[in-house]
Structure formats: structure tokens, C-alpha cells
Amino acid sequence: MTATSSTVLSNIIYLVGAVAVAAVGILVLWWRHRVPTSVDAKMASFQKGLSALAPDRNTSGPTGRPAGQGTEGNFKVRPVAPQVSQLSQVRMRDTPAPVGEERSGPNG
């Protein structure tokens, strides 16, 4: 069974139309999401990167409050881990003294 030339031409026109519509859609999406190339856009992008690395203390954070302020006002962050000097004191206090030596100090 062979198709007539009008049927083949109709199918080819349908295929070309579908490809054209897809190409127009791709161009619209590319145009909307392209990266700006102006000097101002590059300067704004650079400034955005700088503020991400070292945010200004006067600007508000993601919560809308000024940076460095909690719900109750200013607060200080305390270290979670003990400092190195505290660790060495704990280790010395918890370990037994070598035979023949005495430790001086409150626990030694």
C-alpha cells in the first residue's frame, strides 16, 4: 500500500511545523534565561559575591533583624569546645602522676 503524494506532503508539513514550534520555544527560553553581559551586570554579580563572603554588619540577615542580634537583642557566641589550655589541664588532672613524682596544684 503506497501513500499518495498529498499525504506524504501533509505529513512533512506537520513535522516541519512541530520542529518550528519547538525551535521558537527553545529560543524564548534561552532568551529569558541568558546571562547578562553588560558591565553593570558583571559589577553587580561581583558585588553580590563579595557580600556573600563578608556580609556588611549593618545589613539585615535572612530573618530581617540586623546582623548580630537575636530575638532578645545582642548576644555573644560562646565556644563549644574547651580551649587548648583547658584541655591540657584536664588531661594532667585526670592522669595519675608517674611513680616518684608529685604534682603541685589544687588536684595534684
Return the pLDDT at 35.
81
- Are the beta carbons of 63 and 69 closer than 8 angstroms? no
Residues of the chain with pLDDT > 90, as a percent, come to 24
Domain layout of the chain by residue ranges: 1-36
pLDDT per residue over 65-76, tens digit each?
Answer: 555 555 555 667
pLDDT per residue over 19-31, tens digit each?
Answer: 999 999 999 999 9
Return the pLDDT at 104.
61
Return the pLDDT at 15.
97
Indicate the helix (H) or strand (E) that contains 90.
helix 84-94
Report the C-alpha gap between 53 and 41 in whole angstroms. 19
Instruction: Dump the DSSP string for 28-70.
Output: HHHHHTPPP-SHHHHHHHHHHHHHHHS--TTSB-TTSSBTTEE
Taking the model in full, what pTM does it have? 0.38
